[in-house]
Amino acid sequence: MSTHREETENTPARADGEFRVRATELDSQDPLAHYRQHFIGTDTPLSYLDGNSLGRPLKRTAEDVAAFITDQWGGRLIRGWDEQWLEMPQAIGDQLGRAVLGAAPGQTVIADSTTVVLYKLIRAALAAVNDAHRDEVVLDIENFPTDRYLVEGIAREEGLTLRWIQPDPAGGVTVEQVRQAAGPRTAVVLLSQVAYRSAHLADLPAITAAVHDAGALVVWDLCHSAGSVEIGLDDAGVDFAAGCTYKYLNGGPGSPAFAYVNSRHLGSLRQPIWGWMGRKDAFEMAAGYEPAAGIRGFLSGTPAIFGMIAMQGTLDLIEEATMAAIREKSLRLTGFAVDVFDAWLAPLGAKLATPRDPALRGSHITVDHPDFTKATVAGLWDGDVIPDFRAPHGIRVGLSPLSTSFGEVLQGMAAIRARLGG
Ligand SMILES: *Cc1c(COP(=O)(O)O)cnc(C)c1O
């Protein structure tokens, strides 16, 4: 390439410089930028683009967990359960409901893993429908594996039929598809609000209404939406929801999940895993299972306290920052990533497997290229750029609004371009 050519308008070098200037501007104008310094590792050169699989820890979490070990666990020992820990699943659940889910108190509890919570909710929903003519569960082939597998297992246990929606893999389930799939034989519909691969943001209120019009109940998986998009469970009249706390809520590896059950279902419902912690008066240890009143009846075994302590730090930050501002930043981050994709990766044959319409997009983008393999991502990791690989040919670039900077996005996209020889 001649020197003369490099000086003309649209050369790669010039675009690089413009994006660098823009990333710096976006970071300096970002009203949430100061939150980044609260996270461990954000002062290193690493570009972390996988907070949607495992969020970064807060610096505060190291202190909170250390203090818990010394003062609470070490100091209070078994007394801690009565003094505070037994109430944490509901107390943190209420905070999560308020800060993240749009849920009034008494409907959210922290427990188990998402897989187990979904099992409990789907079985409870089926029991609530309790109509032999409704023998179908509607779900989609693009949902996260655990969601599909466990519904397949429940269908086998209960003799149900599965009705599969086939969404656009680069998009997601639409209201029209739900209207077509759900009908007089539908008992339960299980969907993800944000698709784990494409980041498609489903129209939760309209789909919930469509499911109800069909006389069925809906279970929403919020793993990729909790902490990234605004969610109004009560306003939409959602029946049930579950989600992870180790993704955008930074609860740490294996931190417990959350379950939401709309209060209109709480009086009558039973979940299928009867454990002592969900029993009325657990420490009575009496014969026979009688569920605790309200959302507590959705607990089964001993609560996982460490993960709740870790997620509380993030919930405090979210309440301060507000989900509205977090969603705004998320859209700026993904919008910037899409612009860089168009300029740098599309010319090298990459395809955007994420909706371009910001209203239909969660907080990551997925880039497909026939040359992307696990080894591509391993190479990126070796160079301190950490996205993740999604088969068959996708690199998923996750953007956590409280901890990701625009500079980090640019650094990551430049490394991906370099892997493609650009
Ligand atoms: C991450 C994720 C899960 C994980 O479930 P676990 O029980 O925590 O392993 C489930 N569903 C979706 C949609 C996810 O993105």
198 with 98, same domain: the answer is yes
**Whole domain around residue 352: which residue ranges?**
11-57+323-419
363 with 388, same domain: the answer is yes
Final residue of a structural domain among 264, 288, 319: 319
Identify the residue whose C-alpha is closest to ligand 1 atom 14: 223
Residue 116 zone, left/alpha/beta (φ > 0; ψ -120 to 50; rest) = alpha
* Distance (Å, whole) CA 302 – CA 112: 9
Whole-number Cα distances in Å, 351 to 111, 188, 196, 312, 367: 38, 34, 17, 38, 6
Specify if 2 maps to a domain: no
What pLDDT sits at residue 95?
98
Q: How many residues can be counted in the chain?
A: 422
105 with 225, same domain: the answer is yes
User: Is the CB of 113 inside a 6 Å radius of any atom of ligand 1?
Assistant: yes
30 noted as active-site residue? no
79 noted as active-site residue? no
User: Is the CB of 341 inside a 6 Å radius of any atom of ligand 1?
Assistant: no
Q: How many domains does the chain have?
A: 2
Final residue of a structural domain among 303, 319, 335: 319
Question: Closest ligand 1 atom to the C-alpha of 116?
Answer: 7
22 with 163, same domain: the answer is no
CATH of the domain at 179: 3.40.640.10
208 with 244, same domain: the answer is yes
State the catalytic residue, choosing from 36, 123, 197, 247: 247
337 with 271, same domain: the answer is no
Edge-to-edge strand order for the sheet containing 217-221?
108-111, 257-261, 240-243, 217-221, 186-192, 136-140, 161-165
What pLDDT sits at residue 8?
46
314 with 332, same domain: the answer is no
In this structure, what is the dihedral angle of CA atoms 375, 378, 383, 389, given to the nearest 10 degrees? Answer: 100
> The tokens 């998923």 sit on which residue?
396
160 with 295, same domain: the answer is yes
What pLDDT sits at residue 9?
52
406 noted as active-site residue? no
* Distance (Å, whole) CA 189 – CA 136: 9
CATH of the domain at 349: 3.90.1150.10
Specify if 160 maps to a domain: yes
314 with 351, same domain: the answer is no
* Distance (Å, whole) CA 336 – CA 332: 6
Task: Determine the distance separating the centroid of ligand 1 and the alpha carbon of 242, expressed in angstroms.
Answer: 9
* SS3 per residue for the chain: CCHHHHCCCCCHHHHHHHHHHHHHHHHHHCCCHHHHHHECCCCCCCEECCCCCCCCCEHHHHHHHHHHHHHHHHHHCCHHHHHCHHHHHHHHHHHHHHHHHCCCCCCEEEECCHHHHHHHHHHHHHHHHCCCCCCEEEEECCCCHHHHHHHHHHHHHHCCEEEEECCCCCCCCCHHHHHHHCCCCEEEEEEECECCCCCEECCHHHHHHHHHHCCCEEEEECCCCCCCCCCCHHHHCCCEEEECCCCCCCCCCCCCEEEEECHHHHCCCCCCCCCHHHECCHHHCCCCCCECCHHHHHCCCCCCHHHHHHHHHHHHHHHHHCHHHHHHHHHHHHHHHHHHHHHHHHHHCCEECCCCCHHHECCEEEEECCCCCHHHHHHHHHCCEECEEECCCEEEEECCCCCCCHHHHHHHHHHHHHHCCC
For the record, the structure tokens of 360 come out as 């239909």
114 with 127, same domain: the answer is yes
User: For residue 205, which amino acid is it?
Assistant: P
Q: Which of 52, 53, 146 to mutate to test the pocket of ligand 1 (most atoms within 8 A of CB)?
A: 146
Per-residue pLDDT tens, the chain, 422 aa: give them: 344 444 445 566 677 899 999 999 999 999 999 999 999 999 999 999 999 999 999 999 999 999 999 999 999 999 999 999 999 999 999 999 999 999 999 999 999 999 999 999 999 999 999 999 999 999 999 999 999 999 999 999 999 999 999 999 999 999 999 999 999 999 999 999 999 999 999 999 999 999 999 999 999 999 999 999 999 999 999 999 999 999 999 999 999 999 999 999 998 888 999 999 999 998 888 999 999 999 999 999 999 999 999 999 999 999 999 999 999 999 999 999 999 999 999 999 999 999 999 999 999 999 999 999 999 999 999 999 999 999 999 999 999 999 999 999 999 999 999 999 98
User: Is the CB of 140 inside a 6 Å radius of any atom of ligand 1?
Assistant: no
149 with 292, same domain: the answer is yes
User: Is the CB of 53 inside a 6 Å radius of any atom of ligand 1?
Assistant: no
Specify if 100 maps to a domain: yes
Whole-number Cα distances in Å, 270 to 135, 148, 190, 315: 19, 22, 18, 29
Beta strands in 127-249 (DSSP E): 136-140, 161-165, 186-192, 217-221, 240-243
* Distance (Å, whole) CA 61 – CA 253: 13
What pLDDT sits at residue 4?
45
Specify if 270 maps to a domain: yes
Final residue of a structural domain among 263, 297, 319: 319
Question: Closest ligand 1 atom to the C-alpha of 221?
Answer: 13
99 with 233, same domain: the answer is yes
